Every structure is written in C-alpha cells, then in structure tokens.
Amino acid sequence: MASKVIHALYTDDDVLMDAVKQVRAEHYHIEEVYTPFPVHGLDKVMGLAPTRLAITAFMYGCVGLTVAITMMNYIMIEDWPQNIGGKPSFSYIENMPAFVPIMFELTVFFAAHLMVITFYMRSKLWPFKEAENPDVRTTDDHFLMEVDASHHDLDTMTSFLSNTGAVEIKVIDKQEDNH
Amino acid sequence: MYTLSSKLRLFSIILVVIGALGLTYGFLSAPKTIEDVKEMAAHDAHGGGHGDVKATSGDHANESHGTETHGKEDAHGGDAHYEHTLHQLQNKPWAALYVAAFFFFMIALGVLAFYAIQFASQAGWSPVLFRVMEAITAYLVPGGIILFVILALSGFHINHLFVWADPEVVAHDKLLQGKASWLNGGWFIFRAAFFLSGWMLYRHFAVKYSRKQDEDTAGNKWYKKSFKIAAGFLVFFIYTESMASWDWIMSFDPHWFSTLFGWYVFASLFVSGITTIALITIYLKSKGYMDFVNNSHIHDLAKFMFGVSIFWTYLWFSQFMLIWYSNIPEEVTYFITRIEDYKLPFFGMVVMNFVFPLLVLMNSDYKRINWFVVMAGVIILCGHYVDIFNMIMPATVGESWFIGVTEISAVLLFLGLFLFIVFKALTKAPLLAKGNPYIEESKHFHY
C-alpha cells in the first residue's frame, strides 16, 4: 500500500530532540529516527518501551548454569566416577569447587552469546541484509526523522517541521513498508 | 546543617550501655580454672552427649593451639583437654570484643579508601556524598585507638588471643620461632601504630582540606591538595592494609598463610564501607537532610555494593578453591577446622554476601528502591560480620564458639559507639561540600 511520509533532516542532536518533543506534542506519528550515533534520551522522548534484553540475558545465564551442572554431573559423577588425583567423585556437591570455573564460564557464555543473537534477531541484522538507510548522510552528520503524513495536510506539516529546525524536508511516497 | 536528634543520641547510649553490660557478663562468666570447665562439661553431658563430642574433638586440637596442648600434655596428662577448652572459653569474650571492634573499624577504613578513590578518580557523581563519608571516617580515630589498645593487650599476652604472643608456646614451636622476627609484641605494636597513624593522618588532612575548600570560592587550591594526598594515601593504604590483615587477622592462625589474604580482607572492608555509606545516606535523605541526593546516587552505591560483593566472593572462592584443590596439609587445616566446626557460618556467609546481593541487586530498578537497598545492605553487613567472625573465632575459641550474649553485646557496644560518633560528626559541617569543583555535576547526576 502506498503511503506518504515526510523526511525531515536535522544537523544537530539537540535540535532533533526538541523537534521530536514538538512532533509528539502535535500528535504526529514518528515512524523512525535515523541518527549517526546514539543520542542519549532519544528513546525516552520518543516514548519507546524499555528493552527487555537484560531479562533474556538473565534467563540465558540460568540455562547455561543448568547445562554446566547437568553436563558435569553426568560425565564426572554418574557416568564414570573415576578417582582422578584423589578428588571426591561420590556426589556433585563434594567435587563442586572444581566445577565452579566451568559453571561460571558457561553461564557467561550462554548469557552473552544468546543475548547477542537475540539482539540480531530482534533488530533484524544479518550479513547480507540490505541496508535500510533512507539517506546516506544519516551515517555521517545528519539526523533524519521520518513522520507519517498519510492523513495530514502536507503543507501545514511541512511548515511545522521546518519551524522545528529541519534543514531539509522531503515528501516521500513509500511503495511498501520495509520494516 | 544536620542536628543530632535526642532520640538517636539516646538510642546509641542505650546500645553502648546494654553492650557494655552484656560484655561484662561475658567476661565474668568465663571460667577461671580447669575445675570450672569440668563442671560445665559435666552439665553439658547431662544435657545430652555434648561432652562426648568435645572429648573426641579435643584430640585433633585446633591447630594454632596444637603445640600448646601437646606441651601441657606431658605435665598434666588427662587435664590437657580441659586446659585447652579453658583457654578457648577464656578467649571467647576477648574474641567477641575483637571481632566487633575490628568490624566497625574496618567499615570506617573501607569508607576512607572509597573516599580517597573518589578524589583520585575525580568522580563526578559522588561529591554530594562526601560529607557522609567524612562523617563515617570520623569513627576511624576512636575506633582505631580502641583496636590499638586491644591489639597491644594481646600483643603483650594479657589475653590468649594471639598464640604467637605466648613465650611458652613459641619456646616449643619451631615454626613460630622462625616467624618471631615479624610476629613479636614490640614490632607488632609498632606496625599497628604506624598503619593507624598513617590512615588517621590522611583522614585528618582530607577533612581539613574539604572544609577549607568550602570557604575557597575563587579557586581549587584545597581540592588539588586533596587530590594529591588521596593518590598518595591509596598507595600507602594498599601496602599497609595488606600487612595489617596479616598482623591483625592472619596471625591468629600463625601456622597458616595465604597470599591473597590482604585483598580478601580489603574486599570485605570495602563492601561494608560502601554499604554503610548507602544506609546512612538513605537514612539522612528520608529525614529530609539530603534533598540533593537523587535515586541515581543510590543506584550507583547499590551498583558498587553489588559489584564489590561479587569481587569479595571471587576472592573468597579463589582462596578456598586453590587450597581445597591442592589439599596441602599445612594449608588445608585452615578450611578443615572451619568446615567441621563452623559449617553454618562458613557457608551461610557465602549466601548472605553473594547469593542474596546477586539476586536482589541485579535488577536495575530495584537498585533505586530505598527499602530494597536497605534490606540488601543489612544482610551484607551481617554477612561481613560473620565473615570476620569466621576468620577470627576458629583460631581463638575453636569449637567452643557460639553467637550468644557476649558476641551480640560486643556488636551492640560498638554499634552504639559508631552511630554516636558518626552522627555527631555529621553535625560538624554542612551536608553539602559546596566548594568542590564537581559539586554541580554531582547534584545533577543522572543515570
């Protein structure tokens, strides 16, 4: 479905933050904001929900700990409890100090790697992915705000956006949603 | 300006009085002669088999007293066990006093180290907390003097706390003879005086410069001086703290040694100090004295509590696991006595100092909730009391340990003293160090 969006370009992150606040106060819908670097507080003024990535990492860590304990309990205690250098292999708890380094490392390993993979999946990043950048300057020194303009009067929106400090305003006909 | 409420003053005086009474009771109820011990053991035996346990454990006498027991065995024959128990029970009130004295002193010392680190690292978030830290370190002087007196009494063998201080024991012990050039009363006391005076000297000048900086509106002269002495102090501190931990804690087990012990004790005092800063800040804020402290400051303190708790655990485990793994008899007795006789406190403190703060303080939102931080802080402080208890008691009272009237009274005594001195010191200066060049940044600190 064809839809109209306005691309407003800014050259300063402070101006951008103010613009985001004004646009939201006017109840226009911001589709996306492209910035060359993280702008602190941008997510807050845009009203984005906080990330739950840390919670997933905690759960992945628990999985890693469980894997480590189950693996070593099976291998070292249940399957073939050998006497290796006099270390007690009668129960898991008796030989636990020797397993702690592995338990720790696997917890960290699972938490870190699975969280990173979750991040890639959630933000749809992979090696041959086509870049979604609407304007090459947004990776260098420009900030771009994409505002939905389908059901609004284009002229009032354009003048409103240029009042917020935009250096360049473009009306774009989108053929398909690339999200 | 903070004013000491009469309620708090009364509360701390009551704590001191109760603590002093309980401790006096502890000293008076300690057995005087072997006959007293025999009578107590007989009572215990009636109570249900406890006497048997003691009789068997007397054979593998606590390592540090081992030679002493063997020396006496020839002379007194069957009384050696009772003699041994007598010494443990006589040590009990002294050890309780010592653990509590050291625990509160180490809080002040940990805060002093944290304070110096804030200056040396030019931290922008913490200057609003400087007056709280300065007030807590006020305990360093009286606490240090009390600790010094107890150390001097022990170093010259007024009590049995340090076995190496007993000339009779050293005469029968080749290992202690070998260490006598380091572990002897005079040199021990001299070192203690040197460490304590160095720390107190830094504390004196740091506070003085901080006050002067308040009046100096034009420049940062006193701040720069404070920065320099903080850096110097940190170098001095890490050497002296390490040596102090050998002297004041590790030498309770003079047959045993561990190279990371100094770091381990440091982690313990550091986390206790940071926790105390957080607790006192939250208290003052709840009373409306520190409105410039926001929940981001509390969040940062809670992060430190969380991180240093894990650092402590890392060192605790590194020490334990290396010794457990290699299982060299001369090293491993340290943990064998602790696991056999102190199972609950030894493993309980790992739960209190690691598992509890790990789970409670991991969530970023919880670190901003005052009562959550207070709850975690109280558990951490109790955990580190048990930590010090575990380091000192096995070598002084062995299997005769108990957390009873004597131990709790000693804690109350020093808690009262600590609260009184710290809150008295808070009244001495405005709660905002207004001359500090980072104070504006700190007031607007936001995470």
- What is the nearest CA distance from A109 to chain B, expressed in angstroms? 18
Distance in angstroms between the alpha carbons of the first and the last residue of chain B: 27
**Helix and strand element counts for chain B (H, E):** 19, 0
Neighbours of B5 (CB within 10 A): 11
- Contact state of B325 with A98 under an 8 Å Cβ cutoff: yes
Q: What is the pLDDT, as a whole number, of residue A111?
A: 97
Mean of pLDDT values over A81-89: 92
**Chain B environment of A98 (Cβ under 8 Å):** 321, 325
Chain B neighbors of A58, CB-CB under 8 A: 362
Q: The tokens of B355 are what?
A: 């598992």
Mutate to test the interface with A, among B321, B322, B445 (most CBs of A within 10 A): B321
Residues belonging to chain A with any Cβ–Cβ distance to chain B shorter than 8 Å: 54, 58, 86, 97-98, 100
Report DSSP state, residue A144.
E
Tell me which DSSP letter residue A40 carries: T
Q: Is the pLDDT of residue B390 over 60?
A: yes
Q: What's the pLDDT score for residue A136?
A: 92
User: Are A97 and B327 inside 8 Å of each other by CB?
Assistant: no
Which string of DSSP letters, residue by residue, matches B334-355? HHHHHHHH-HHHHHHHHIIIII
| Per-residue pLDDT tens digits for B103-112 | 999 999 999 9
Residue B41 is predicted with a pLDDT of 73
CB contact (8 A) between residue B327 and residue A86 = yes
**Are B189 and B120 spatial neighbours (Cβ–Cβ below 8 Å)?**
no
pLDDT at B5: 86
Which of B47-51, B145-149, B397-401 has the weakest average pLDDT? B47-51
Suggest the residue from B322, B325, B446 to mutate for an interface test with chain A (most A CBs closer than 10 A): B325
Instruction: Please classify residue B209 by burial: count the beta carbons closer than 10 Å to its beta carbon, then call 0-12 exposed, 13-18 middle and 19+ buried.
Output: buried
The residue of chain B with its CA nearest to that of A94 is B324
Mean pLDDT over each residue of chain B, to the nearest integer: 89
* Per-residue pLDDT reduced to its tens digit, B156-168: 888 888 989 888 8
Q: pLDDT: is B434 or B334 the higher one?
A: B334
Q: Collapsing DSSP states into helix, strand and coil, what is residue B261?
A: helix
Please report the pLDDT score of residue A2 as a whole number.
Answer: 60
Q: Is A54's CB within 8 Å of B364's CB? A: yes
Phi, then psi, of A170 in degrees rounded to 5: -130, 140
Q: What does the alpha-carbon distance between residue B272 and residue B104 come to, in Å, rounded to a whole number?
A: 9
pLDDT score, position B236: 97
Q: Average pLDDT of B312-322?
A: 96
User: How wide is the angle at C-alpha B149 spanned by C-alphas B143 and B153, nearest 5°?
Assistant: 145
* Contact between residue B109 and residue B43 where contact means Cβ atoms under 8 Å apart: no
| Residue B59 pLDDT exceeds 60 | no
Q: What is the pLDDT of residue B135?
A: 96
List all residues of chain B from 301 to 330 with a beta carbon under 8 Å from chain A: 317, 320-321, 324-325, 327
State whether B325 and A58 contact (CB < 8 Å). no
Q: How many Å apart are CA B277 and CA B257, to the nearest integer?
A: 32
User: What is the arithmetic mean of pLDDT over B198-224?
Assistant: 92
Chain B residues touching residue A86 (CB < 8 angstroms): 327
Phi-psi bin for A47: left (phi > 0), alpha (psi -120 to 50), beta?
left
Cα separation, B445 vs B440, in Å, equals 8
pLDDT confidence of B44, banded at 50, 70, 90?
low
pLDDT for the residue numbered B62: 44
pTM of the model: 0.90
Q: Locate B157 and state its tokens.
A: 């063998």
List, in order, residues 6 or more apart from B177 with CB less than 8 Å away: B170
Rounded Cα distance, B273 and B305, in Å: 9
Question: Of B79 and B429, which is predicted with more confidence?
Answer: B429
Q: What is the β-pairing status of strands A168-174 and A143-148?
A: unpaired
On the question of pLDDT at B58 being above 50, the answer is no
Q: Is the pLDDT of residue B76 over 60?
A: no
Both tokens assigned to B51: 């006497």
For chain A, counts of helices (H) and of strands (E)? 5, 4
Reported as a single tens digit per residue, the pLDDT across B401-433 is 999 899 999 999 999 999 999 999 999 999 998
For residue range A26-63, what is the model confidence (pLDDT) as tens digits?
Answer: 999 999 999 999 999 999 999 999 999 999 999 999 99
CA torsion through residues B135, B136, B137, B140, sign: positive
- Contact B286/A at CB under 8 A: no
A58–B362 CB contact, under 8 Å: yes
pLDDT of residue A16: 94
| Residue B278 scores a pLDDT above 60 | yes
Task: Please give the pLDDT value at position A175.
Answer: 67
Cα–Cα dist B88/B30, whole Å? 10
Q: How far apart are CA B143 and CA B150, in angstroms?
A: 11
Q: Give the per-residue pLDDT at B218.
A: 79
Which residue in the set B325, B362, B364 is minimally distant from A97, CB to CB?
A: B325
For residue A99, the chain B residue with the least C-alpha distance is: B321
Interface of B with A in 343-402 (CB under 8 A): 362, 364
Whether the per-residue pLDDT at B50 is higher than 70: the answer is: no
B1: contact with A, CB 8 A cutoff: no
Indicate whether B65 pLDDT > 60.
Answer: no
C-alpha–C-alpha distance, residues A47 and A20, integer Å = 10
Residue B40: predicted pLDDT = 76
How close is the nearest chain B Cα to the Cα of A155, in Å? 40
CB pairs under 8 A between A and B: 12
* pLDDT for the residue numbered B326: 93
